[in-house]
Amino acid sequence: MQPVHEFLGRTATDNPDKEAVVCGANRMSYGALDEAATALAAFLTSRGIGQGDRVGIFGSKSVEEVVALFAILRAGAAVVHINPQYRDAHLRHVITDCGIKTLFVDNSRARILASACGGQDSLELVISLSDEIKLDADAFPEIAILGDILRSQSGKSFQPVEFGSDDLASIIYTSGSTGMPKGIMVTHQILYDSTVTSAEVLENNADDRIISVTPFSFDGALSQLLTAVFVGGTLVQQRSNFPKDIVDTLRDERITGFHAVPSLWGVLLQERSPFPQHGYPDLRYVSIIGEVLPPKHLARLRAILSTTQFYLMYGTTEAFRSTYLPPADLDRKTGSAGIPFPGVTLEVVDDAGHPCAAGETGMLLHSGAFVSPGYWNDTERTAATFVDGWLHTGDQASIDADGYLYYAGRRDGLIKAQGFRVSPEEVETSIFELDSVVEAAVIGVPAPEIGTAIKAVVVLQAGAATTDKDIIGHCRRQLPHYMVPSIVEFRPELPKTNGHKVNRAALV
């Protein structure tokens, strides 16, 4: 196994002037990226940061965050790329849960950081990804500027850190069925295996220019970055997800690879979107993972992108990737998420744990490549989810006689929205903060354009004047955008089961 950060050094040696990362007007070559990551790694190790430490990144897309990511890995620490949509409570939880002492942040997230953690001693060092930082120096023990660090460390020697394949490389936080996000541990072996295997399946090469539309806190985006560096291609970071801006990038940057969740494809296909009006001759492939892509959307996309190869995939953050549907099987295996990736074994079992027959729906298990060692700081949940080498995914699925997977939904009540797993309890907890709310229940409902919308059913105190806009506005201030309900329905009471639990099936 070769650590993934060594991919950067190899490509920089072979082709130092090749464009590595693009973000708007900012462009960085492999040579410059390698030099900056080395200088920053030297600084981090000089501060005592090394194996076993967790270093956070909290910001919007930039070439600087790529420098930070590779520097953290080179220093032997674990990258904790925090979802940039997190607000106070979620950010504070992640920093506290995994004991982050050093955090990279940009000015777009400085206000949230100050609100969540200002005046606390948990963060020992904050490093600004921007040329300046909008933080009160008295609120944090130490604040530094990335540019200043790189200039001060230029030309200094750096001794590579040695570590094993099973050492921690990253922690990815994602929603669980209850409570705050849980941290999924990712080893260096998992990053290596997933990168090499993805490049093999998608036939990535040095001529690829891959658009990145989701943050690196999302495992698919992290995989795209590492795959691009592995093959010596170029990663183009997309900061705006408005259809026109994405179309401009696809065409201007001559994008060859595009990975996105079904909800984004739905947005691109909306009536006023310019996406269907253009051709994309450079777009060699698209990969689609997340919630199920509506068949009508797939048909329209194939009509627009008539020369593009489509890869439909299934995976979980706990195991990165499980299956892919080869482009040649799109018509032969309609509705399937494909066959296992090399090194992956899948099994579907019934409630008693017995293997299901071909075509029978049950609980999906994954073993072999890419499986996480477990959840950070949560031995109980780890023991329940990772059993004897098998990941219990929590998903319902079936496998046909030819070994092709068909996804059937979640078992634990999680909502799959915009490619993220959303805990209904988290959204309900936020709504309950409003004094006028007596009861609240949150579910996912079908939405033609985006796949799944979040719906809140609310019971108010008698005479309360709270409106749907009040509830949505409150959630926007408290939650990541993908957790905010787009539909609010008021009822005099919530339907209950015989066991006095909310009957969510009756809320649709």
Q: What is the pLDDT of residues 27-86, one digit of tens each?
A: 999 999 999 999 999 999 999 999 989 999 999 999 999 999 999 999 999 999 999 989
With a pLDDT cut of 90, the percent of the chain lying above it is 72
Question: Per DSSP, what are the bridge partners of residue 367?
Answer: 345, 390
Q: What is the pLDDT of residues 340-365, one digit of tens each?
A: 999 999 999 998 999 999 999 999 99
Q: Is 355 helix (H, G, I), strand (E, B) or coil?
A: strand
Mean pLDDT in residue range 216-221 = 91
Residue 498 in this model has a pLDDT that exceeds 70: no
Mean pLDDT in residue range 82-102 = 94
The structure's pTM equals 0.85
CA distance 88 to 112: 6
CA distance 76 to 47: 13
Residue type, 385: T
Q: What is the pLDDT of residue 271?
A: 80
Mean pLDDT in residue range 150-155 = 90
Is residue 265 within 8 Å of 259, Cβ to Cβ? no
Q: What is the pLDDT of residue 428?
A: 86
| Length of the chain, in residues | 508
Is residue 365 within 8 Å of 346, Cβ to Cβ? yes
Q: What is the pLDDT of residue 423?
A: 79
Q: What is the pLDDT of residue 485?
A: 95
Is residue 432 within 8 Å of 440, Cβ to Cβ? yes
Looking at per-residue pLDDT, the higher value among 506 and 96 belongs to: 96
Residue type, 378: D
CB-based contacts of 71, cutoff 8 Å, min separation 6: 36, 37, 38, 39, 40, 41, 43, 44
Mean pLDDT in residue range 92-111 = 95
Q: What is the pLDDT of residues 367-388, one digit of tens each?
A: 999 999 999 999 999 999 999 9
Q: What is the pLDDT of residue 178?
A: 60
pLDDT band at residue 251 using 50, 70 and 90 as cut-offs:
very high
Mean pLDDT in residue range 238-249 = 95
Count of alpha carbons within 13 angstroms of residue 38, beta-carbon side: 17
Burial of 279 (0-12, 13-18, 19+ CB in 10 A): exposed
Q: What is the pLDDT of residue 175?
A: 76
Q: Is 383 helix (H, G, I), strand (E, B) or coil?
A: helix
pLDDT band at residue 491 using 50, 70 and 90 as cut-offs:
very high
Q: 140: closest CA among 117, 115, 106?
A: 117
Is residue 286 within 8 Å of 305, Cβ to Cβ? yes
Instruction: Report the mean per-residue pLDDT for the chain.
Output: 92
Residue 215 in this model has a pLDDT that exceeds 80: yes
Residue 499 in this model has a pLDDT that exceeds 60: no
Tell me 177's DSSP state. S
Q: What is the pLDDT of residue 177?
A: 57
Residue 291 in this model has a pLDDT that exceeds 70: no
Distances (CA, A) of 379 to 80, 91, 385, 386: 19, 22, 10, 10
Looking at per-residue pLDDT, the higher value among 232 and 497 belongs to: 232
Q: What is the pLDDT of residue 201?
A: 97
Radius of gyration (Cα) for the chain, nearest Å? 23
Least confident of 310-314, 360-364, 375-379, 461-465: 461-465
Q: What is the pLDDT of residues 389-430, one digit of tens each?
A: 999 998 888 999 999 999 877 676 778 887 787 878 788 888
